[in-house]
Amino acid sequence: MDAGASGDAVLDAARAWLAQDPDEVTRAELTTLIAEAEAGDAAASADLADRFGARLAFGTAGLRGRLGAGSNRMNRVLVAQAAAGFAAYLTEKAAAAQVEGVATDAPPTVVIGYDGRRNSDVFAADSAAIFAGAGLRAVLLPRLLPTPVLAFAVRHLGAAAGVMVTASHNPPDDNGYKVYLGGADEGSQIVSPADAEIAAHIERVAAEASIADLPRAEFELAGESVIQAYVAATATVAPAPAGAAGMNWVYTAMHGVGYETLRSILELAGYPLPVVVEQQIEPDGAFPTVAFPNPEEPGAMDLTFAAARDAGAEFALANDPDADRLAVAIPDESADGGWRRLTGNETGLLLGWRAAQRAADAGASAPASLACSLVSSPGLEVVANHYGLDFHATLTGFKWISRAPGLVYGFEEALGYLVNPETVRDKDGISAAVALLGMIAEAREQGRTLTDLLDQFAETFGFFQSGQVSLRVEDVSIIGRIMAALRAAPPTEIGGVAVESFEDLLLPVGGSGSGADASRDAAEVPPAEIPPADVVRLRLADGSRVIVRPSGTEPKLKAYLDVRGDSAADAAARLAALDAGTRELIAAAQA
């Protein structure tokens, strides 16, 4: 297709999109762009090509992208097509189950939730109406709520599926569409092949019908009882012990939806309410005080640290905007400003220690397990072994972690923790906060702090430290070239330490590949837990580990570094050397 024909095709696609768009804002936006492109404006033509030259892909994370008109943006047309496609998938599965005699004649239930981002409520209502129009029982949660409440509601209502309209901690102009399955999936996020099957239905809807022709019907509005059930279940994660009395702490919702639900749980469980970061406590989809509402981002918790200093707080907690992640901060004289955020691995290991102690004390007859993503700290496996529990490493994402056999606890280093699998089969920043509050309160009874717990963990299990090297690129093909270079010539050393094994997770178990030890090890990487993935894992002679993979959400290459030292200083020195060596390795592969 020549450039002129391509431009004509883009304009045709834009006009067809405009004809079915019910949103006044995106209609006006698109009308202006089309007129400017027709007049020969090169910038407008390039903008249209970006919006319509591709389609926002539906995958195991559902949909996520920038708000705006076009097939490569989040908008009412795209969401309606996604809802109709998902409805067709659920109808098809229900019909197959009836043929097999494992389902009733009742229509499948879909529960829909939404957070405080721009258009989340609109996308959710559109979806509910389309689900109902397709003959499903559609139940919309009564107001903006955290993602974990939706994940809970899927199981609580016995739903076949759930949809959460959220972009979690993405930039302010983004939104997304996260999909869960009930039944045998127990309210976990979708995995392959469901993602491809749903995507095929969405593509068919987009090709064959205008969204104006999609049937719509009245849907149900869930009662407060669903939220009350989540609050009651989460309060039992760690009812406040005596040590909670007088606890002085700070909390931020980061302009998200976490605090209303968290406050109800704190009151029921018996914890003192926190000092809140007033500028960030109410939901606000514009995120006026943070450019990137992710507690991991530099500067995102500056207001939290300031509030903690002013309050003389013992610790501070932060949820991301949809409250599925949790960040923890403690006073630290060596840190700039006197406060530092714990890494996801530090918090994850503390909560894993708590879960392991409780599982061991319970003496369950069935094997209990701890699980984390393969890029998270290897310290969790040490904890599991210490308490005689099973351990599972999975691909990144709670869609995998939540499916680990015998799971009592799971985490990933990106501030995600699953502490209550009988209630929520997904990361849950609210239940994780309650679990951590219980742990801190128990320590306070002994005159100890969260810092003391970190020290005790290191003395008991080892001095683990983790780091990350990220390479952001404009041209994503660079990432592919780097991964190919690493596979073609695996390094023999990093930072002066010999590489003992090189595992390519794209290869089948027992397969062969370039470089020494390039096949996957069936004993270390069970195929049921880790499907083939674009990941390479290097283990070094001193016990250190480097894992390299492309980011699943950003144009980045990520290298995850893990070391275990004889002391905190030794671990820090090992990590610094590994960081420098990894940067050299990536630079050489990029050259």
What gap in Å lies between CA 372 and CA 563, rounded to an integer?
17
pLDDT at 561: 97
Is there a contact between 461 and 572 (Cβ–Cβ < 8 Å)? no
How many CB atoms neighbour CB 143 within 10 A? 15
Average pLDDT, the chain: 93
59: its two tokens: 């995958």
Question: In which region does residue 255 sit, left (phi positive, over 0), alpha (psi from -120 to 50) or beta (all else)?
Answer: left
What gap in Å lies between CA 190 and CA 403, rounded to an integer?
11
If you average pLDDT over residues 84-105, what whole number do you get?
Answer: 88
What gap in Å lies between CA 346 and CA 351, rounded to an integer?
9
pLDDT at 516: 39
What gap in Å lies between CA 30 and CA 539, rounded to an integer?
51
pLDDT at 389: 96
Beta strand spans in 168-299 (E):
174-181, 188-189, 220-221, 249-252, 275-276
316: its two tokens: 């501070």
Is there a contact between 123 and 75 (Cβ–Cβ < 8 Å)? no
If you average pLDDT over residues 8-37, what whole number do you get?
Answer: 96
How many CB atoms neighbour CB 225 within 10 A? 9
The identity of residue 336, as a single letter, is D
Q: What single DSSP character describes residue 241?
A: -
Which residues are marked as active site?
168
Match domain 463-590 to its CATH number in 3.30.310.50, 3.30.390.50, 1.10.760.10, 3.60.21.10. 3.30.310.50
What is the maximum alpha-carbon separation in the chain? Answer: 75
If you average pLDDT over residues 267-276, what whole number do you get?
Answer: 98
If you average pLDDT over residues 536-554, what whole number do you get?
Answer: 91
Give percent of the chain above pLDDT 70.
95
pLDDT at 511: 43
If you average pLDDT over residues 482-503, what whole number do you get?
Answer: 95
- Residue 136, SS3 per DSSP: coil
- Summarize pLDDT for 58-90 with one digit per residue, the tens: 987 899 999 999 999 999 999 999 999 999 999
Residue 94 has pLDDT above 90, yes or no: yes
pLDDT at 524: 41
Is there a contact between 374 and 384 (Cβ–Cβ < 8 Å)? no
Residue 144 has pLDDT above 50, yes or no: yes
If you average pLDDT over residues 364-379, what whole number do you get?
Answer: 90
3-state SS of 383-438 is: HHHHCCCEEEEECCCHHHHCCCCCEEEEEECCCEEECCCCCCCCCCHHHHHHHHHH
- Summarize pLDDT for 46-61 with one digit per residue, the tens: 999 999 999 999 987 8
What gap in Å lies between CA 133 and CA 382, rounded to an integer?
51
What gap in Å lies between CA 264 and CA 434, rounded to an integer?
12
Q: Is 223-461 in the same CATH topology as 59-222?
A: yes
If you average pLDDT over residues 569-589, what whole number do you get?
Answer: 96
pLDDT at 529: 53
- Summarize pLDDT for 417-429 with one digit per residue, the tens: 999 999 999 999 9
Q: Where are the domains of the chain?
A: 1-53, 59-222, 223-461, 463-590
pLDDT at 523: 34
Residue 513 has pLDDT above 50, yes or no: no
Residue 363 has pLDDT above 50, yes or no: yes
Strands 315-319 and 249-252: parallel
- Summarize pLDDT for 455-468 with one digit per residue, the tens: 999 999 999 999 99
Residue 532 has pLDDT above 90, yes or no: no
Residue 355 has pLDDT above 70, yes or no: yes
pLDDT at 522: 33
pLDDT at 468: 94
> Got the DSSP string for 514-579?
SSTT-SB-TTTS-TTTS---S-EEEEETTS-EEEEEE-SSSSEEEEEEEEEESSHHHHHHHHHHHH
pLDDT at 591: 82
Is there a contact between 147 and 169 (Cβ–Cβ < 8 Å)? no
User: What fold does the segment set 59-222 form as a domain?
Assistant: Alpha-D-Glucose-1,6-Bisphosphate; Chain A, domain 3 (3.40.120)
Closest-CA residue to 247 (of 305, 316, 295): 316
Looking at the chain, how many residues does it have?
591
Superfamily, domain 223-461: Alpha-D-Glucose-1,6-Bisphosphate, subunit A, domain 3 (3.40.120.10)
Instruction: Report CA-CA distances (Å) from 290 to 38, 174, 427, 554.
Output: 38, 14, 23, 19
Residue 514 has pLDDT above 50, yes or no: no
Question: In which region does residue 497 sit, left (phi positive, over 0), alpha (psi from -120 to 50) or beta (all else)?
Answer: beta
- Summarize pLDDT for 259-270 with one digit per residue, the tens: 999 999 999 999
- Summarize pLDDT for 388-414 with one digit per residue, the tens: 999 999 988 999 999 999 999 999 999
Q: Is 246 or 515 the better-scoring residue by pLDDT?
A: 246
What gap in Å lies between CA 295 and CA 309, rounded to an integer?
18
Q: Is 36 or 520 the better-scoring residue by pLDDT?
A: 36
Task: Report residue 252: phi and psi, to 5°.
Answer: -130, 140
Is there a contact between 309 and 338 (Cβ–Cβ < 8 Å)? yes
Q: How confident is the model at residue 365 (pLDDT cuts 50, 70, 90)?
A: low
